[in-house]
């Protein structure tokens, strides 16, 4: 799947215009064109940001349900694949893996995902235009969610992904806040806007410190940390980004070690596949999702002296092998050798962030070209839910 330099240079002028004139050096002087993400995404960013300028902050406190065991400021969601038991309609729910129950309470999750669309797009619009309106509106959302006593969300997910008749909340619910990773990244970018008050920035960091502590020390957090599949990857991605934002170097070091000693050894097979995701009823979508989150982990934790995208175990397993495995099936989904997803098979792939992150870190222009032609703004809620990094400009 690697496109040669001759083939790449032979692409159309319009495609070449999507790549910046600058070059990055990899290995022994190899040069690769870097995509001009600001130019590529300018229109879609400004279109979304202008729409979001008209939307007022709406946090979880606007929605409630008697099924939650928490309070007004506690995030609550229900397990996606749990349904009433036809043999015992009033009893504990039973699982139907891969099939989402449309009657579950999802308003808090929808509000959180809406925040993860609004704040990064507004921040990216400020980064492109330096128009302070975008920064100010993004900050309004951050204040409402994390600082205003009347509307803020408590820094824990004790009541996330509850199951009727079984549990008031589970560690698996922590995956819901993977949508905060890019929000926190946006907050860092907004520091340069000179529109965010120092006390507000301190307050945001305090919220992240508290949530980070809960993720690390709570039983739910420990359970999610030890999850073997994409849930464990999402835990590392969140802790890594919150640790970066709060300058928690101990947590950062822990995440880097965990990527090398737990995530890669336990999740990447010899051929680069993700066996734990392939076992699921939606293997294609879950493999794409896990690849994206693993790429985000590498993007957060890599340093000039330690490129985690290039990290390999003695047997050759690493992120590079994982993306090499998936790339042919991103290009041609019909070649996928495993069973099709039970839901949303036709809606994947989208503009997976793993492609642009890996393209830069691994020097692969083929990844850029594939990334460029995919849909950056899916409209199906389930796809949006499993596509948490949507503004790569904030990560450049």
pLDDT in tens, 123-163: 999 999 999 999 999 999 999 999 999 999 999 999 999 99
pLDDT at 238 over 50: yes
pLDDT at 3 over 90: no
Please report the pLDDT score of residue 33 as a whole number. 64
Mean pLDDT, range 321-343, rounded to an integer = 97
291: confidence class by pLDDT, cuts 50, 70, 90 = very high
pLDDT at 9 over 70: no
Q: Is the pTM of this model over 0.85?
A: yes
Pairing of strands 19-26, 30-35: antiparallel
Sorted by sequence, the CB contacts under 8 Å of residue 42 that are 6+ apart come out as: 128
Count of C-beta atoms within a 10 Å radius of residue 249: 10
310: confidence class by pLDDT, cuts 50, 70, 90 = very high
Going 204 to 255 to 214 to 95, the CA torsion angle's sign is positive
**Rounded to whole angstroms, how far apart are CA atoms 125 and 127?**
5
Mean pLDDT, range 157-178, rounded to an integer = 92
Question: What average pLDDT does the structure give for the chain?
Answer: 91
**Hey, what domains does the chain have and what are their CATH numbers?**
1-35+267-396 (1.50.10.100), 40-226 (1.50.10.100)
302: confidence class by pLDDT, cuts 50, 70, 90 = very high
Residue 96 contacts residue 64 (beta carbons within 8 Å): no
User: Any alpha helices (H) in the chain, and if so which ranges?
Assistant: 5-9, 13-16, 37-52, 107-129, 132-146, 181-190, 198-217, 219-225, 230-246, 249-258, 264-267, 275-278, 283-301, 319-331, 353-362, 365-373, 381-385
366: confidence class by pLDDT, cuts 50, 70, 90 = very high
- Please, what's the b/e burial string for 342-368 (b: 16 or more CB within 10 A of its CB; e: otherwise)? eebeeebbbbbbbbbbbbbbbbbbbbb
364: confidence class by pLDDT, cuts 50, 70, 90 = very high
212: confidence class by pLDDT, cuts 50, 70, 90 = very high
Please report the pLDDT score of residue 16 as a whole number. 38
pLDDT at 334 over 60: yes
pLDDT at 369 over 60: yes
Please report the pLDDT score of residue 7 as a whole number. 37
Contacts 24+ apart (CB under 8 A), 26-35: 26/362, 26/363, 27/363, 30/363, 32/359, 32/360, 32/363, 32/364, 32/365, 33/8, 33/365, 33/368, 34/360, 35/356, 35/359, 35/368, 35/371, 35/372
Counting residues of the chain whose pLDDT is more than 90, the rounded percentage is 81
Give Cα separations from 48 to 45, 121, 186, 217 (angstroms).
5, 7, 15, 38
The 10s digit of each residue's pLDDT in 242-289 is 999 999 999 999 999 999 999 999 999 999 999 999 999 999 999 999
Please report the pLDDT score of residue 102 as a whole number. 84
């Amino acid at each position: 799947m690697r496109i040669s330099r001759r083939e790449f240079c032979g692409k159309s002028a319009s495609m070449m215009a999507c790549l910046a004139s600058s070059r990055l050096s990899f290995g022994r002087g190899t040069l690769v064109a870097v995509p001009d993400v600001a130019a590529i995404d300018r229109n879609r960013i400004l279109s979304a940001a202008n729409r979001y300028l008209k939307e007022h902050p709406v946090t979880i406190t606007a929605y409630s349900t008697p099924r939650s065991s928490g309070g007004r400021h506690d995030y609550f969601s229900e397990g996606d694949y749990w349904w009433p038991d036809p043999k015992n309609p009033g009893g504990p729910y039973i699982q139907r893996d891969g099939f989402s129950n449309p009657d579950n309470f999802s308003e808090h999750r929808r509000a959180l995902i809406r925040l993860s669309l609004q704040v990064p797009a507004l921040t990216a619009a400020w980064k492109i235009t330096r128009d302070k309106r975008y920064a100010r509106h993004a900050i309004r959302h951050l204040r409402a969610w994390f600082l205003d006593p009347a509307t803020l969300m408590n820094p824990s997910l004790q009541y996330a992904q509850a199951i009727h008749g079984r549990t008031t909340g589970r560690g698996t619910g922590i995956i819901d806040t993977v949508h905060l990773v890019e929000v926190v990244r946006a907050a860092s970018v907004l520091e340069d806007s000179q529109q965010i008050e120092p006390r507000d920035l301190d307050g945001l960091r305090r919220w992240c410190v508290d949530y980070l502590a809960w993720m690390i020390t709570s039983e739910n957090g420990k359970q999610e940390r030890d999850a073997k599949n994409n849930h464990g990857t999402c835990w590392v991605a969140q802790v890594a980004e919150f640790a970066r934002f709060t300058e928690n170097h101990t947590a950062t070091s822990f995440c880097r070690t965990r990527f090398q000693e737990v995530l890669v050894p336990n999740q990447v097979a010899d051929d680069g596949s993700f066996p734990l995701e392939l076992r699921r009823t939606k293997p294609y979508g879950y493999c794409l999702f896990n690849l994206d989150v693993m790429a985000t982990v590498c993007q957060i934790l890599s340093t000039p002296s330690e490129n985690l995208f290039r990290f390999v175990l003695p047997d050759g397993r690493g992120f590079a092998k994982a993306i090499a495995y998936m790339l042919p099936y991103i290009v041609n989904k019909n070649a996928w050798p495993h069973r099709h997803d039970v839901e949303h098979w036709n809606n994947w792939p989208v503009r997976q962030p793993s492609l642009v992150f890996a393209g830069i870190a691994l020097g692969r222009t083929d990844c850029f070209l594939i990334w460029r032609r995919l849909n950056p703004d899916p409209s199906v809620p389930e796809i949006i839910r499993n596509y948490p990094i949507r503004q790569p400009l904030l990560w450049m």
